[in-house]
Chains A and B, each alone.
Chain A
Amino acid sequence: MILTEFDYARPTGLDEALALLSGTRGARVLAGGQSLLPDLRTGADSARLLVDIRRLAELRGTTRTPDGRRLRIGALTTLADLAADPLVLAEAPELAAAARSNGDPQVRNLGTLGGNLAAAGRPTDLPVAAIAADALVELAGTGGRSTLPAEEFAAGTAPAGEVLTALLVPAAGAAAAFEKSADRATRYPLCATAVRITPDGPRIAVTGATPRPLRLRGVEDRLRGGPYSTEAVLAAFRAEPRELFVPGRGTSAEYLGHLAGVLTARALQRAERALS
């Protein structure tokens, strides 16, 4: 039972949704509800008006951009559909794997790409995949459309009154991977990492072990040119400043920093195998 009261609207067009969001104090976007509803239920979050965006057809579907170099994935794509989409599996395998690792089949049936990227409070799986892929978050507000690198989007809170409409993901082929150590009870990541091997070197993003989803440029620089042996990757992590890693879920910063290194090594080795 949700004890707080709120109003509810289910607009059919994006403009209508944006008008509702900007016109009501405390208005919140409701997508799959798999974060927002339990948080409203426990009192961890609050809302005056829920704007249910699930009828907005323009937020659905996955397409290749006209130049063929990116995928445009609608924000309402469910985690289940993302994990099984042949285009995503082929061109952004770290994103598909992150979606697949999420919670359980029922959460994946309702939880959405946009909601997982926008959910604040606990580390979630998709932001690291989006950051390692160098993806762009597409937003719509009453002032028009804009895009923001996934890394910057993850650094701030989702802009109030705006709707995340899509994720633009560079098509990479197979050279990417996602690894996660999950909290046993909830499946939320204790630590998750995503990597992409590019001609300029590896891109590496970590969450759970760090205060927020972060791209680790220092580790990338140390590993440029390889090899991606476990020893080399762990050494590259040990060279990071100690305060980069934070304790969480009953584990120490030292443990999580080491775990991040181990998971990154596994991910890099898997991505490298996929490349060859």
Chain B
Amino acid sequence: MDITLNVNGRPEQFSAQPNELLVERLRDGLGLTGTKVGCDTGQCGTCVVRLDGRSVKSCLVLTASAAGAEVATIEGVTTRGGELSGLQEALRQEHGTQCGFCTPGMVMALGELVDATADGPAPTEPEIREWLTGNLCRCTGYHSVVRGVQRACAATRDEVPAGSTASTAAAPEV
């Protein structure tokens, strides 16, 4: 099947089998290996990307049914100069990443939460934890990830992050 897909703002054209999963196209076809495969059955969240703005598990999407959509992967989050996004920087400052295997999926999933709440109050801690249900992390224990999200949300609102354990004297870098 001939398929056109927009990936990180770039049109991509290729031919794919009907049973190809989006994560296979991204990693093997387009070389975007920032998106990881953990379980391949929808449980771990390492493969999360944004599809037309919504976070989805790319191991549970057929490439064919994504045709015509806008796909955003972790490669598109970091700026060209290699600068981290506000969320990534906040996660770094709060030690929200250790081995890093879950991190691309976390950033893509949490990106939707941060964007969806941008115009209102920052998400509460229970909301952040609920939002993380789909992302498994073997290393951090999640607390530092939650603080990272709080820091990122506070930074865009000019506030001191709730529950931060990192130096609160320094203004969060964005």
Q: Which residues of A contact B (CB under 8 A)?
A: 1-8, 10, 30, 33-34, 37-38, 40-42, 50, 52, 54, 80, 103-107, 109-110, 185-187
Contact = CB atoms under 8 A, between A and B. Distances in A.
Contact of B1 (A5, A8, A103, A109): A8
Contacts, number: 84
Interface residues of B, number: 30
B40 A103 contact: no
Contacts of B24: 1
B64 A8 contact: yes
Given A5-B19, A34-B42, A109-B56, A104 B61 contact: no
A104 B45 contact: yes
Nearest to A4: B19
A104 B134 contact: yes
Contacts of B55: 105-106, 109
Contacts of A38: 41-42, 60
Interface of B: 1, 17-19, 21, 24, 40-43, 45, 48, 54-57, 59-62, 64-65, 67, 109, 112-113, 131, 133-135
12 contacts: A3-B19, A5-B19, A33-B65, A34-B60, A37-B21, A52-B62, A52-B64, A80-B54, A103-B133, A105-B55, A110-B61, A186-B43
A106 B1 contact: no
A269 B48 CA distance: 38
Given A38-B42, A41-B40, A105 B134 contact: yes
A116 to B, nearest CB: 14
Nearest to B47: A106
A129 B56 CA distance: 25
A187 B18 contact: no
A38 B60 CA distance: 7
Given A106-B56, A110-B61, A185 B43 contact: yes
B21 A1 contact: yes
- From B1, B67, B134, residue with most partner A Cβ within 10 Å: B134
B134 A106 contact: yes
B48 to A, nearest CB: 6
A110 B21 CA distance: 15
Contacts of A103: 133-134
- From B24, B61, B62, B113, residue with most partner A Cβ within 10 Å: B62
A33 B17 CA distance: 17
Contacts of B112: 105
Contacts of B60: 33-34, 37-38, 106-107, 110
Given A105-B109, A109-B55, A110-B56, 4 more contacts: A4-B19, A6-B19, A8-B65, A37-B21
Contact of A105 (B19, B59, B61, B131): B131
A189 B112 CA distance: 26
B54 to A, nearest CB: 4
Contacts of B59: 41
Contacts of B43: 185-186
A33 B62 contact: yes
A95 B61 CA distance: 25
Given A1-B24, A8-B1, A105-B131, A37 B109 contact: no
A107 B18 CA distance: 21
Given A33-B60, A105-B112, A106-B109, A8 B134 contact: no
A109 B61 CA distance: 12
B65 A52 contact: yes
B46 to A, nearest CB: 11
Contacts of A2: 19, 21
